[in-house]
A = this chain, B = another copy of it.
């Protein structure tokens, strides 16, 4: 037997978004330069569902589900058959490729649940998995938990506004080196970069050449800004069984409190995901599943207005960062910004703690997303005015702690 490695070593949550309340204040007072910078607390670690409220009608759908009783409380482990049928149609239209309601769709507790099951379904001990840097913080942890080996692929997200910037030479090298799975988010979390059509087509061609399975996390693919185009991985010509797509209504639709996700595509992978879901959580909560009926059926104009409001915040924050000399890619989609900070005289984690205690601003350190010790991630799905104020405080803090 090989020496035991504690799978939990890779799972540190100390700096994970949402866990800030568990951090101790430590020696923060000794590090502090200058006074507190007052202002309303803004928690950029996740979106504010009080500022952007859940889809109209979602609570009513939940209430109807409770009234429906047992029929809705207990569903197949992969989720209610009639809800899957509705969703499969909508997701096929949205992504431009057929979806099998019965064989190729599974409802999960949040998109995190879908991601966990998908990675578990395709990663075995010792497998190599290609992961983008930067990308969603859990990707790396999931692969490591299942004993896989992360093969990093760099994305130069500052190089161009029309390409995500994935290093396709590195991707090919990863596949040549034996990586059997490529896991990536599009729009990219944390930068908001969207992969161009030519990038998606090139990834598909490489995946086909090397028989690689693709997990495409498209959580933010509905929140696309004016003038941006989007190419769905699953409609890029790859065989259906080689791609599993993950989405959910937690972000743009602010339904995070219901914890709902969907994975769709490869029946082979969905079958394995359901088997595992049977011992992980049995199923997404029965009543909650009904809230998915509101998805892609929002009132006319509602989504457009939501996008417009986010775009206005994005543009204001981009202006603040630009005027302050912080490098920052302009997100094409989603509600994340990933600015590069000036060189600081202390470590990133200390700065993030100071930011919280001294300036009432919570951000996620860039190190959660890869080797990005000079960046922080902001989810700007927040109250507009509070957000611009908080970003001014962030800039002021960075100036206070920069190398003089």
> CB distance A285 to B258 under 8 Å?
yes
In the complex, which residues of chain B have a beta carbon less than 8 angstroms from the beta carbon of A257? 65-66, 72-74, 285-287
Please determine whether B11 and A279 come into contact, CB atoms closer than 8 angstroms. Answer: yes
Query: Does A234 sit within 8 A of B, measured CB to CB?
Result: no
Binds B, one of A25-33, A48-56, A187-195, A329-337: A48-56
Q: Which residues of B contact A18 (CB under 8 A)?
A: 74-77, 282
Listed residue (A59, A259, A286) with the most chain B CB atoms within 10 angstroms of its CB: A259
Q: Which secondary structure characterizes the binding site on chain A? A: helix
Which A residues, 259 to 315, have Cβ-Cβ distances below 8 Å to chain B?
A: 259, 272, 274-276, 278-288
Chain B CB within 8 A of A251 CB:
no
Query: Do B69 and A125 touch across chains, with their CB atoms under 8 A apart?
Result: no
Chain B residues near A279 (CB, 8 Å)? 11, 112, 115-116, 138, 141-142, 145
Q: Does A340 contact B (CB under 8 A)?
A: no
In the docked arrangement, what's the CA distance between A276 and B144, Å?
12
Say whether A1 contacts B126, CB under 8 Å: yes
Complex: A108 Cα to B70 Cα, angstroms? 21
A11-31 at interface with B (beta carbon < 8 Å): 11-13, 16, 18-19, 21-22
- The 7 nearest A-B residue pairs measured at CB: A73-B257, A259-B285, A11-B275, A257-B286, A50-B69, A109-B281, A49-B70
Partner of A285, one of B66, B72, B288: B288
The quantity of this chain's copies bound in the complex is: 2
A365 adjacent to chain B (CB < 8 Å): no
Interface residues of A, count at CB 8 A: 68
Contact digits for A97-110, partner B, Cβ 8 Å, 1 yes 0 no: 00000000000111
Contact at B69–A49, with CB atoms within 8 Å? yes
Contact of A324 with B by CB under 8 A: no
Least CB separation from A283: chain B residue:
B259
A222 within 8 A of B: no
By the criterion CB–CB under 8 Å, are B8 and A275 in contact?
A: yes
Residues of B within 8 A of A109 (CB): 109, 113, 259, 281, 285
A63 at the interface (CB under 8 A from B): yes
How far, in angstroms, from A16 to B78 measured CA to CA in the complex? 13
A145 nearest CB neighbor, chain B only: B279
Instruction: Say yes or no: A110-B69 contact (C-beta < 8 A), given A258-B287, A272-B8.
Output: no
Contacts of A115 in B (CB 8 A): 279
